[in-house]
Structures are given as C-alpha cells and as structure tokens.
A and B are shown apart, each in its own frame.
Chain A
C-alpha cells in the first residue's frame, strides 16, 4: 500500500534556517543541508524548503542550497517561495529540486500553473494554498501571510489548479498555523475530497495525534510540520511509529 508521507518543512532565509532548531548533536543548527540530512536519517519521506528571503538580490542563495542538498540527501525535495515565472521553476529543478511550490504568483496569474506544468510536468508542480475560514464551512484563499483576502473559495481554487495541471496541493490553514491546536480538519477533508491529486495538510501541528488526525479525519495524503520536529519534541521516526500503531500505512 502507498504510505502516507511525513514532510518536515524548513523556512530558509538568505541561506539559513529560521524559526530556530535545537537538534542535539548538530554542529550548526541553522544549516539547511545539515538539518535535511538529519531528517533523512530519521526517515522523513520528503523535505520541503520554503525560501522566505525578502530581498531579491539574495534569491539565488537558495539555488546553491538546493544543489548542495541534492548531492547529499536522496529523498524528494520540494522548494517554494518567490516563484514568479516558469524560468524560476526551471532553475530550481535544474539545481536539484524535485517539486516546486507556487502560491501568490499562481493566484495572480493562474496561467503560470498551466504553463509550468505543461513545460516541466504536473508531477513537479505544487500549488500552495493558504486558507482562512470566513464563515462556517467556508474558506477563502489568502496571500501575503494571511493578510490579503483574495475572495477565492479555497475548495473551488483547489479544483481549478488541479484542472490547470497542478500535481499536488500544499494546504495551510492560516487560522491554525503556529497555534499547535491541530490541522483544520474540515478544510483539509473538504479540499482532499474535492480533488483527485494528493493533498498535503499543513498548519497547526502540536503533537503526534494531530498528524494522525490529518490523515484519518482530514484524509490528507501527506502531513507537513515544522516546529514539532525542529525543537526535538519528536523525531520523524516517533511520528511514524505513532501513526503505524493507529493503523496508518507509513514507511518505517
């Protein structure tokens, strides 16, 4: 059976992991390559780098990180942040990324999803959706870190990007992100049931039960988390053992 995936996410700016990490035994807790290697050793199914570099003149740094990572970490790597053009997608893939995630640019220019997936294949294109509840059972797509309501219905938008050629959806609840209260399960389920492509649940993981709930109740194909792994609260391996004990298929 296909395993549900666990994906640690690293926020990277100007070549360094931010939000902090305190792995035991790492020479340098801010080095994205070293952290990606550690997650690989723990059995992570993929790793995601989110480039949150603000200034454009430092954008190319992520390319060097992706190149170095591809030389040492032999699991799939997704990279997002600042992707505006098909050329940005191509450069990240050539550096060694397996998938490229796009968010604001896809909202502003949905043709980008079509153009990019036509050129490089749907399997490489992830559309990240930041969603916020606006009424019971209703979520809108937000951009700019949850400040800008696009007015788009999150479930309708998910269906649209699937039709445009996205190969996967990275779905983040802006209401839950950073709260450690668990995924927004109705949102996750609503999107996952509405599309035929894999959905990664994100935003709000505070414990291992939350990860299991994302799969069993949210019907996500993969779960993404940052802080519970970064701060050494749990290893990826522990998360998988927990899920396996609840009957969820994982790669151990």
Chain B
C-alpha cells in the first residue's frame, strides 16, 4: 500500500507529503521520481508548482510522462494545482501542450473580467481562501458545500463541463476548480494548505475506492 507523490523537481513537495502522512499511514507515503515506484504504487498524487511549461519540460526530462499517464488510467489519482492544469489539453501559459487526459484549455484570468460586484479590481494571482461549490463526489465526503480552500494561481480552466467538473469557484468569472472522472480527481486549490477541510479531502482520497 504505497501512495506515490510524484517529484519532477518543481518545488516543494514536503507540505503535500506531510499532509498525506497526517491522514494516512506515514510509512505508505513516498516522494518519488522513479517511474517504477509510480507504477507499483497503489495511489498516485500529482502536484505541481510554478509555470506549466517548466513543469511539462521537467516531467519529460525525468521520463515520467508515461508513468503519469498509466497511473491516470487505472489507479486512484489526485492532481493538485499545476498538477490539475497539466491534465488538460493545453495551457495559454507559454502556449504549451498538456497531457490531454481531460478536454479543455487552461487560460489566464481575463483582465477585463477582474472586477467584483462592487466594481473593485480583483488581484491576480487569485490568492487566498475561496468558496468551492461542489458537484456530488466521494472526495467531498464530510466537507460542507461552499467550504473554502486555499488557492494561489493566475491560470485556470474556464469551461465548466457537466460530468467532469466536480467543483466550481467564482473569481471574476466561474471556473472549474475540481474535476473528476473514474479514478481521477484533480483540484486547482491546495488541499495540503487548506486546514481541516483540506486534510479531510486528502483523507477521503486515501480511503477512496473508485
């Protein structure tokens, strides 16, 4: 029973692994860049930080693309932040191709729509705690609809696809902040930084039998 946190050299994975250890058997959590370890794991967590073109390049530089795609086919798989964005077809950030697991494009928050109801300017990056409107999914178990999670990002998936979108957030415009299909769940926010509700989501993932 191994939970592999995929390490392709983009940023700090300590928070992700420590949060998983907090809700799972700590022996089970491994941070790894080894495709064989990913292939052997029971569950896979795919985090991501920084710019998506760098993330894609580093993933390929470590020969992890196939291992990620294989894991996304058949085992409980959790994408986080840029790890969520990379599952889509393309990103405007550096105009780079993603892994194409899900249809859709990752776009920058559009300048023209970055105003709130009172006309005040909305800052980018979208940084802080925002409400997530849930669509029914096992990973929301024990988390109230509308609970807040911690976000920090400037790009997002702006199309909302019924049957794929499992969570939406509004920041200037509504966007998809969680997606789920079969064995895959992926979130734009950071569950590992989202206090109790974030830990609950990770616990749900660890116990998930899709």
For chain B, the count of residues having a C-beta within 8 Å of the partner chain is: 39
Given known A-B contacts A74-B199, A95-B14, A197-B125, A219 and B50 have beta carbons under 8 A apart: no
B197 to chain A, nearest CB (A): 10
A163 at the interface (CB under 8 A from B): no
Q: A96-B12, A121-B51 are in contact. List 11 more A-B contacts (CB 8 A).
A: A1-B130, A1-B131, A5-B129, A74-B19, A123-B154, A124-B49, A167-B125, A167-B152, A196-B124, A197-B124, A198-B125
Rank and list the top 8 A-B pairs by shortest CB-CB distance, nearest first.
A121-B50, A251-B129, A3-B129, A96-B14, A123-B152, A71-B18, A198-B123, A251-B148
**Interface of chain B: mostly helix, strand, loop or mixed:** mixed
Q: How far is the CB of B204 from chain A (nearest CB, A)?
A: 15
A134 contacts chain B at the CB level, 8 A cutoff: no
Query: Is A53 an interface position by the 8 A CB rule?
Result: no
A3 to B149 alpha-carbon distance, docked (Å): 10
CA distance A40 to B21 in the complex (A): 18
Identity of the chain B residue whose Cβ is nearest the Cβ of A94 in the assembled complex: B12
Q: Whole-angstrom distance from the CB of B172 to the nearest CB of chain A?
A: 10
Interface residues in B78-135 (C-beta closer than 8 Å to A):
116, 120-131
Q: How far is the CB of A118 from chain B (nearest CB, A)?
A: 9
- B170→A75 contact, CB < 8 A: no
Residues of A within 8 A of B121 (CB): 193, 196
Q: Nearest chain A CB to B126's CB is how many angstroms away?
A: 7
B193 — which chain A residues lie within 8 A by C-beta?
74-76, 98
Residues of chain A in range 181-215 having any CB-CB distance to chain B below 8 Å: 193, 195-199
A11 within 8 A of B: no
* B contact residues vs A (CB 8 Å cutoff): 11-12, 14-15, 18-19, 21-22, 49-51, 116, 120-131, 148, 150-154, 170-171, 190, 192-195, 198-199
Asked if A153 is an interface residue, CB under 8 A from chain B, the answer is no
Known A-B contacts A74-B195, A121-B50, A121-B51; A94 and B14 likewise in contact (beta carbons under 8 Å): yes
Tell yes or no: A130 within 8 A of B by CB: no
Contact A120 B11 (CB under 8 A): yes
Q: Do A222 and B128 touch across chains, with their CB atoms under 8 A apart?
A: yes
A74: B residues at CB distance < 8 A: 15, 19, 22, 192-195, 198-199
* 8 A Cβ contacts from A56-100 to B: 67, 70-71, 74-76, 93-98
* Residues of A contacting B50 in the complex (Cβ-Cβ under 8 angstroms): 120-121
Min C-beta distance of A82 to chain B, whole Å: 19
- Rounded to whole Å, the gap between the CB of B50 and the closest CB of chain A is 4
CB-CB under 8 A from A45, the residues of chain B are 128-129, 150
Query: How many interface residues does chain A have, given as a range?
Result: 35 or more
Chain A residues contacting B190 (CB-CB under 8 Å) are: 76
Contact A3 B128 (CB under 8 A): yes
User: Is A235 at the interface (CB under 8 A from chain B)?
Assistant: no
Q: Return A164 CB to nearest CB of chain B, in Å.
A: 15
**A168 contacts the other chain (Cβ, under 8 Å)?**
yes
Contacts of A4 on B, CB cut-off 8 Å?
128
Q: Which residues of B sit under 8 angstroms from A120, Cβ to Cβ?
A: 11, 50
Chain A residue nearest to B51 in the complex (CB)? A121
Asked if A2 lies at the interface with its beta carbon under 8 angstroms from chain B, I say yes
A214-234 contact mask (Cβ, 8 Å, vs B): 1 or 0: 000001011000000000000
A67 to B51, CA, bound (A): 24
Q: Say yes or no: A198 contacts B128, CB within 8 Å.
A: yes
A167 close to B18 (CB less than 8 A): no
The answer to whether A75 and B150 have CB atoms under 8 Å apart is yes
Which among B12, B14, B49, B126 is the interface contact of A2 at CB below 8 angstroms? B126
Cα distance A252–B49 in the bound complex, in angstroms: 27
Residues of B within 8 A of A143 (CB): none
Q: Are A70 and B128 in contact (CB under 8 A)?
A: no
